[in-house]
Amino acid sequence: MTQELIIAIPLGICLSAAVGLKIFLPFLITSLFMKFGLFEVSETFQFLGSWTAIILLSIATITEILSYYIPYVDSFLDSIATPGATIAGAIIAMLVLPGDLGITAMWAIGIIGGGSTALATQSITNFARPIEKPILPTGGAVATTEVIGAASIPAIVLASPILSIIAAIIIVISLIFLIILLLFLKRLFKNIFSFFFNIFTKSNKPQGELS
């Protein structure tokens, strides 16, 4: 049990981080690994390895990915994806836990480890998207990065679960760093905008008002 948890908890953190990037893609990759016998889960989640689940997840994945390349739709999806990603992160973290752990412990680990990680990842993309648009009006860079991350993280850690320990440490450190960086950039852009806005408003005031 202890050895399984040592692998399962970091693995859940990695998968939930991927869910924070794209909700359905990590589930689809996990389902494919299950279907072809490359990864096993408890009986509770065996249905995810069925062709029905794979087809439904494929449709949901394609729809989600394409929607984020449509202007304004991506912003709307971000507003509803945050709670969705948090719940999905908790579920996918529970999915890889040992089945005999107990439902209370599974939910606790899922919410604390998986839900919080997915929420942090999703929050970073919510910060990054508005910053991207003034730089790249056409957008797409953040969405493409999300797809790459949401696909590569599950593929790597499911293929070699032992790597999830190292990957989880890297992900947690990276999330903390990125959150701090994006908060700094947001404040920087806000100060720059305020600076030029003040200059513009002063330059357009009548001469009498300036004196």
**pLDDT tens-digit readout, 141-157:** 888 999 999 999 999 99
| pLDDT for position 119 | 92
Is 1 a residue whose pLDDT tops 70? no
Q: What is the pLDDT of residue 127?
A: 78
pLDDT for 138 equals 56
Is pTM beyond 0.85? Reply is no
Mean pLDDT score, 195-210 = 64
- Binning pLDDT at 50, 70 and 90, where does residue 162 land? confident
Buried b (16+ CB within 10 A) or exposed e, 190-201: eeeeeeeeeeee
- Displacement of CA 99 from its chain's centroid (Å): 25
Instruction: Say which residue, 190 or 46, is predicted with more confidence.
Output: 46
Above 80 in pLDDT, residue 199?
Answer: no
- The whole-number pLDDT of residue 135 equals 66
Residue count (the chain): 211
> Using one digit for the tens of pLDDT, what is the confidence trace for 71-100?
777 777 877 888 999 999 999 999 999 878
pLDDT band at 19 (very low <50, low <70, confident <90, very high): very high
User: Which position has the token pair 């947001």?
Assistant: 186
Of 1-5, 61-65, 201-205, which has the strongest mean pLDDT?
A: 61-65
| Residue from 103, 119, 118 nearest 12 by CA | 118
DSSP string over the chain: -HHHHHHHHHHHHHHHHHHHH-SHHHHHHHHHHHHTTS----GGGGGGGSHHHHHHHHHHHHHHHHHTTSTTHHHHHHHHHHHHHHHHHHHHHHHTS-GGG-HHHHHHHIIIIIIHHHHHHHHHHHHHHHHHHHH-TT--HHHHHHHHHHHHHHHHHHH-TTHHHHHHHHHHHHHHHHHHHHHHHHHHHHHHHHHHHHHHHHHTS-HHHH-
Mean pLDDT on 99-120:
89
Lowest mean pLDDT among 1-10, 145-154, 190-199: 190-199
**Pick the residue with more confidence: 73 or 66?**
66
Residues 23-29 have a mean pLDDT of 96
Whole-number pLDDT of residue 211? 47
Q: Which residues contact 60 (CB under 8 A, 6 or more apart)?
A: 24
- pLDDT over 80 at 198, yes or no: no
